[in-house]
Amino acid sequence: MNLFPLLSLALPALSSPLSTASANSTAPHTTFLFNANLTTTAPILIGATPFGLTTILPITGGAFSGPGLEGKITTGLARRVTGTTSTNRADATYVLRTRDGANIAVTERAAIPGVEVMFEAAGGRYAWLNNVTAWTMATVPEDGVIRLKFWRMERLGREGLVDKPKFQWLGD
The angle at the Cα of 20, spanning 151 to 120, to the nearest 5 degrees, equals: 35
Integer CA distances (angstroms), 135 to 1, 83, 155, in order: 23, 23, 14
**Mind listing the pLDDT tens digit of every residue in the chain (172 residues)?**
444 433 332 322 322 333 344 455 566 788 999 999 999 999 999 999 988 999 999 999 999 999 989 999 999 999 989 887 777 888 999 999 999 999 999 999 987 767 889 999 998 999 999 999 998 887 776 777 888 999 998 865 444 444 444 444 444 3
Nearest one of 137, 111, 117 to 129, comparing CA atoms: 117
Nearest-angstrom CA–CA distance, 91 and 78: 6
Pick one of 1.10.645.10, 3.90.470.20, 2.40.160.20, 1.10.10.10 as the CATH number of 4-12+28-161: 2.40.160.20
To the question of pTM greater than 0.75 for the whole model, the response is no
Nearest one of 6, 13, 1 to 151, comparing CA atoms: 13
What is the DSSP-derived secondary structure letter of residue 158? Answer: T
Nearest-angstrom CA–CA distance, 89 and 140: 19
Extents of the domains making up the chain: 4-12+28-161
